[in-house]
Copies of this chain bind each other. A is one copy, B any other.
Amino acid sequence: MNYELIDSYPFYVEPFHVDFTGRIFLGVLGNHLLNAAGDHSQRRGWGIGALNETRHTWVLSRLSIEMMEMPRQYEHCEVRTWVESVMKLFTNRNFSILNAEGKPLGYARSVWAMIDLETRKPCDLLTLYDGDILNYVVPEEEGFCPIEGHSRFRFREPQLVRTIDTYYSDVDINGHINSIKYIEHILDLFPRQRFEQQSIRRFEIAYKAESYLGDKLSFYEQIIDDNETDIEVRKNESDVVCQAKVCWR
Protein backbone atom coordinates (compact mmCIF):
# COMPACT_ATOMS: atom_id res chain seq x y z
CA MET A 1 0.00 0.00 0.00
CA ASN A 2 1.21 3.49 -0.84
CA TYR A 3 1.06 5.07 2.63
CA GLU A 4 1.95 8.48 1.30
CA LEU A 5 -1.04 8.69 -1.00
CA ILE A 6 -3.57 6.19 0.36
CA ASP A 7 -5.12 6.90 3.75
CA SER A 8 -6.83 4.51 6.11
CA TYR A 9 -9.90 5.65 8.05
CA PRO A 10 -11.02 3.20 10.77
CA PHE A 11 -14.67 2.83 11.72
CA TYR A 12 -16.67 0.74 14.14
CA VAL A 13 -20.13 -0.57 13.38
CA GLU A 14 -22.30 0.87 16.16
CA PRO A 15 -25.56 -0.78 17.32
CA PHE A 16 -27.80 2.01 15.99
CA HIS A 17 -25.97 1.97 12.67
CA VAL A 18 -27.21 -1.46 11.61
CA ASP A 19 -30.47 -2.45 9.99
CA PHE A 20 -32.79 -5.24 11.07
CA THR A 21 -30.51 -7.82 9.43
CA GLY A 22 -27.62 -6.69 11.66
CA ARG A 23 -25.63 -5.19 8.76
CA ILE A 24 -24.54 -1.56 8.49
CA PHE A 25 -26.99 0.81 6.78
CA LEU A 26 -25.67 1.79 3.36
CA GLY A 27 -26.19 5.46 4.28
CA VAL A 28 -23.97 5.09 7.35
CA LEU A 29 -21.31 3.40 5.24
CA GLY A 30 -21.61 6.24 2.72
CA ASN A 31 -21.07 8.70 5.56
CA HIS A 32 -17.85 6.89 6.52
CA LEU A 33 -16.67 7.12 2.90
CA LEU A 34 -17.34 10.86 2.81
CA ASN A 35 -15.59 11.35 6.14
CA ALA A 36 -12.58 9.43 4.83
CA ALA A 37 -12.58 11.59 1.68
CA GLY A 38 -12.78 14.75 3.78
CA ASP A 39 -9.88 13.70 6.01
CA HIS A 40 -7.74 12.62 3.07
CA SER A 41 -8.23 16.00 1.35
CA GLN A 42 -7.69 17.94 4.51
CA ARG A 43 -4.34 16.27 5.26
CA ARG A 44 -3.11 17.39 1.85
CA GLY A 45 -4.23 20.99 2.16
CA TRP A 46 -7.35 20.43 0.07
CA GLY A 47 -9.90 20.23 2.90
CA ILE A 48 -13.10 22.28 3.07
CA GLY A 49 -11.48 24.60 5.63
CA ALA A 50 -8.47 25.48 3.48
CA LEU A 51 -10.60 25.79 0.35
CA ASN A 52 -12.97 28.12 2.11
CA GLU A 53 -10.17 30.67 2.41
CA THR A 54 -10.00 30.97 -1.35
CA ARG A 55 -13.81 30.65 -1.61
CA HIS A 56 -13.85 27.19 -3.17
CA THR A 57 -15.54 23.99 -2.13
CA TRP A 58 -15.87 20.35 -3.17
CA VAL A 59 -19.14 19.13 -4.65
CA LEU A 60 -19.91 15.41 -4.78
CA SER A 61 -21.22 14.48 -8.19
CA ARG A 62 -21.28 10.67 -8.28
CA LEU A 63 -20.95 7.84 -5.79
CA SER A 64 -21.04 4.13 -6.66
CA ILE A 65 -20.63 1.50 -3.97
CA GLU A 66 -20.31 -2.22 -4.59
CA MET A 67 -20.23 -4.62 -1.65
CA MET A 68 -19.40 -8.32 -1.53
CA GLU A 69 -20.37 -8.30 2.13
CA MET A 70 -21.81 -5.63 4.41
CA PRO A 71 -20.04 -5.07 7.76
CA ARG A 72 -21.92 -6.42 10.78
CA GLN A 73 -22.75 -4.86 14.12
CA TYR A 74 -19.67 -4.47 16.38
CA GLU A 75 -17.18 -5.06 13.53
CA HIS A 76 -14.06 -2.91 13.34
CA CYS A 77 -13.41 -1.98 9.72
CA GLU A 78 -11.50 0.56 7.70
CA VAL A 79 -12.01 2.67 4.60
CA ARG A 80 -9.01 3.26 2.35
CA THR A 81 -9.19 6.14 -0.07
CA TRP A 82 -7.08 7.74 -2.75
CA VAL A 83 -7.26 9.98 -5.81
CA GLU A 84 -7.47 7.90 -8.96
CA SER A 85 -7.28 10.65 -11.54
CA VAL A 86 -7.75 14.36 -12.13
CA MET A 87 -9.33 15.98 -15.16
CA LYS A 88 -9.99 19.62 -15.80
CA LEU A 89 -13.38 19.79 -14.10
CA PHE A 90 -13.59 16.54 -12.15
CA THR A 91 -11.51 14.28 -10.00
CA ASN A 92 -12.11 10.58 -9.41
CA ARG A 93 -11.65 9.30 -5.89
CA ASN A 94 -11.76 5.58 -5.08
CA PHE A 95 -12.33 3.63 -1.89
CA SER A 96 -11.92 0.13 -0.55
CA ILE A 97 -13.70 -1.13 2.58
CA LEU A 98 -11.87 -3.80 4.60
CA ASN A 99 -12.65 -5.81 7.71
CA ALA A 100 -10.33 -6.13 10.73
CA GLU A 101 -8.38 -8.96 9.03
CA GLY A 102 -7.73 -6.75 6.01
CA LYS A 103 -10.18 -8.67 3.81
CA PRO A 104 -11.88 -6.44 1.24
CA LEU A 105 -15.64 -6.24 1.80
CA GLY A 106 -16.31 -3.84 -1.05
CA TYR A 107 -15.21 -0.87 -3.12
CA ALA A 108 -16.51 2.51 -4.15
CA ARG A 109 -15.91 5.15 -6.79
CA SER A 110 -16.74 8.83 -6.59
CA VAL A 111 -16.54 11.91 -8.77
CA TRP A 112 -16.04 15.40 -7.36
CA ALA A 113 -16.04 18.87 -8.84
CA MET A 114 -14.55 22.00 -7.30
CA ILE A 115 -16.72 25.08 -7.42
CA ASP A 116 -16.16 28.73 -6.82
CA LEU A 117 -18.40 29.71 -3.89
CA GLU A 118 -19.27 33.10 -5.42
CA THR A 119 -20.10 32.09 -8.96
CA ARG A 120 -21.11 28.44 -8.12
CA LYS A 121 -19.22 27.56 -11.32
CA PRO A 122 -16.73 24.68 -11.59
CA CYS A 123 -13.00 25.46 -11.46
CA ASP A 124 -10.09 24.08 -13.43
CA LEU A 125 -8.49 21.54 -11.11
CA LEU A 126 -5.39 21.28 -13.28
CA THR A 127 -4.41 24.88 -12.66
CA LEU A 128 -5.92 25.57 -9.21
CA TYR A 129 -3.12 25.91 -6.62
CA ASP A 130 -0.66 25.33 -9.49
CA GLY A 131 -2.05 21.84 -10.13
CA ASP A 132 -0.96 20.64 -6.68
CA ILE A 133 -3.67 17.96 -6.71
CA LEU A 134 -1.75 16.04 -9.40
CA ASN A 135 0.83 15.20 -6.73
CA TYR A 136 -1.74 12.97 -5.03
CA VAL A 137 -2.79 10.77 -7.92
CA VAL A 138 -2.14 7.10 -7.19
CA PRO A 139 -0.71 5.05 -10.06
CA GLU A 140 -3.29 2.59 -11.38
CA GLU A 141 -1.38 -0.51 -10.29
CA GLU A 142 -1.36 0.70 -6.68
CA GLY A 143 -4.98 1.76 -6.38
CA PHE A 144 -6.99 -1.41 -6.83
CA CYS A 145 -10.70 -0.78 -7.39
CA PRO A 146 -12.15 -3.67 -9.40
CA ILE A 147 -15.71 -2.37 -9.83
CA GLU A 148 -17.47 -0.93 -12.84
CA GLY A 149 -17.55 2.78 -13.54
CA HIS A 150 -20.66 4.89 -13.08
CA SER A 151 -23.71 4.10 -15.20
CA ARG A 152 -25.43 6.42 -17.58
CA PHE A 153 -29.03 6.90 -16.52
CA ARG A 154 -31.85 6.94 -19.05
CA PHE A 155 -35.28 7.53 -17.61
CA ARG A 156 -38.13 6.89 -20.02
CA GLU A 157 -41.46 6.77 -18.26
CA PRO A 158 -40.60 6.29 -14.60
CA GLN A 159 -43.52 5.86 -12.20
CA LEU A 160 -44.09 8.17 -9.25
CA VAL A 161 -43.93 5.97 -6.15
CA ARG A 162 -43.70 8.40 -3.23
CA THR A 163 -43.59 12.08 -2.37
CA ILE A 164 -42.17 13.26 0.95
CA ASP A 165 -41.72 16.51 2.79
CA THR A 166 -38.27 17.44 4.03
CA TYR A 167 -37.58 18.54 7.58
CA TYR A 168 -34.94 19.78 9.99
CA SER A 169 -33.16 16.38 10.24
CA ASP A 170 -32.69 16.21 6.48
CA VAL A 171 -30.46 19.21 6.07
CA ASP A 172 -26.76 19.82 6.53
CA ILE A 173 -24.81 22.87 7.66
CA ASN A 174 -25.34 24.50 4.26
CA GLY A 175 -29.11 24.14 4.47
CA HIS A 176 -29.08 21.49 1.71
CA ILE A 177 -30.74 18.10 1.98
CA ASN A 178 -27.65 16.08 2.79
CA SER A 179 -26.15 13.55 0.38
CA ILE A 180 -26.64 10.68 2.82
CA LYS A 181 -30.30 11.43 3.48
CA TYR A 182 -31.10 10.88 -0.21
CA ILE A 183 -29.62 7.40 0.10
CA GLU A 184 -31.82 6.69 3.13
CA HIS A 185 -34.99 7.99 1.48
CA ILE A 186 -34.27 5.98 -1.68
CA LEU A 187 -33.74 2.71 0.21
CA ASP A 188 -36.89 3.43 2.24
CA LEU A 189 -38.85 2.94 -1.00
CA PHE A 190 -38.20 -0.80 -0.85
CA PRO A 191 -40.42 -3.11 1.19
CA ARG A 192 -39.21 -5.03 4.21
CA GLN A 193 -39.27 -8.34 2.29
CA ARG A 194 -36.65 -7.12 -0.13
CA PHE A 195 -34.13 -6.60 2.67
CA GLU A 196 -35.10 -9.89 4.30
CA GLN A 197 -34.55 -11.89 1.13
CA GLN A 198 -31.77 -10.03 -0.66
CA SER A 199 -28.85 -7.74 -0.02
CA ILE A 200 -27.63 -4.72 -1.95
CA ARG A 201 -24.87 -5.67 -4.36
CA ARG A 202 -24.36 -2.24 -5.88
CA PHE A 203 -25.72 1.25 -5.28
CA GLU A 204 -25.10 4.27 -7.47
CA ILE A 205 -26.15 7.86 -7.07
CA ALA A 206 -25.67 10.91 -9.30
CA TYR A 207 -26.23 14.27 -7.62
CA LYS A 208 -27.73 16.78 -10.07
CA ALA A 209 -29.03 19.74 -8.07
CA GLU A 210 -29.42 20.89 -4.47
CA SER A 211 -32.72 20.72 -2.61
CA TYR A 212 -33.58 22.61 0.55
CA LEU A 213 -35.45 22.29 3.85
CA GLY A 214 -39.15 22.33 3.03
CA ASP A 215 -38.80 21.11 -0.56
CA LYS A 216 -41.09 18.27 -1.50
CA LEU A 217 -39.16 15.34 -2.93
CA SER A 218 -40.84 13.00 -5.42
CA PHE A 219 -39.41 9.56 -6.13
CA TYR A 220 -39.88 8.05 -9.59
CA GLU A 221 -39.11 4.39 -10.15
CA GLN A 222 -38.01 2.59 -13.30
CA ILE A 223 -37.65 -1.17 -12.95
CA ILE A 224 -34.78 -2.47 -15.10
CA ASP A 225 -35.19 -6.12 -14.12
CA ASP A 226 -35.99 -8.22 -11.04
CA ASN A 227 -32.75 -7.19 -9.37
CA GLU A 228 -32.22 -3.67 -10.62
CA THR A 229 -34.22 -0.50 -10.07
CA ASP A 230 -33.45 3.06 -11.10
CA ILE A 231 -34.86 5.93 -9.06
CA GLU A 232 -35.13 9.57 -10.05
CA VAL A 233 -35.70 12.16 -7.33
CA ARG A 234 -37.33 15.44 -8.31
CA LYS A 235 -38.00 18.45 -6.14
CA ASN A 236 -41.30 20.28 -6.12
CA GLU A 237 -42.47 18.15 -9.04
CA SER A 238 -40.02 19.61 -11.54
CA ASP A 239 -36.21 19.71 -11.30
CA VAL A 240 -34.21 16.51 -11.07
CA VAL A 241 -32.23 16.45 -7.82
CA CYS A 242 -30.56 13.05 -8.10
CA GLN A 243 -30.71 9.70 -9.83
CA ALA A 244 -29.86 6.34 -8.33
CA LYS A 245 -29.52 2.69 -9.22
CA VAL A 246 -30.06 -0.12 -6.74
CA CYS A 247 -28.84 -3.62 -7.69
CA TRP A 248 -29.84 -6.56 -5.48
CA ARG A 249 -28.02 -9.84 -4.96
Contacts and interface: CB of A to CB of B under 8 A. Distances in A.
Interface stretch (A122-130, A139-147, A150-158, A180-188): A180-188
Interface string A34-64: 1100100000000010000000000000000
Given A20-B172, A34-B16, A172-B16, A214 B188 contact: no
A35 B18 CA distance: 13
B173 A188 contact: no
B168 A192 contact: yes
Contacts of A27: 169
A210 B116 CA distance: 48
Interface residues of A, number: 36
Number of copies: 2
A100 to B, nearest CB: 17
Contacts of A14: 31, 35
A247 interface: no
A19 interface: yes
A195 to B, nearest CB: 6
B20 A169 contact: no
Contacts of A169: 19, 25, 27, 184-185, 187-188
A200 B234 CA distance: 32
A171 B179 CA distance: 20
A205 B38 CA distance: 34
A213 B192 contact: yes
6 residue pairs, one from A and one from B, having the closest CB atoms: A167-B188, A169-B184, A20-B175, A22-B173, A20-B171, A168-B188
B188 A18 contact: no
A15 interface: yes
B168 A19 contact: yes
Given A31-B14, A35-B15, A20 B192 contact: no
Nearest to A171: B20
23 contacts: A15-B34, A15-B35, A15-B38, A15-B48, A15-B172, A15-B173, A16-B34, A16-B172, A16-B180, A18-B173, A19-B168, A19-B171, A20-B171, A20-B172, A20-B173, A20-B174, A20-B175, A21-B173, A27-B169, A167-B188, A168-B190, A168-B195, A192-B214
Interface in A10-34: 14-16, 18-22, 25, 27, 31, 34
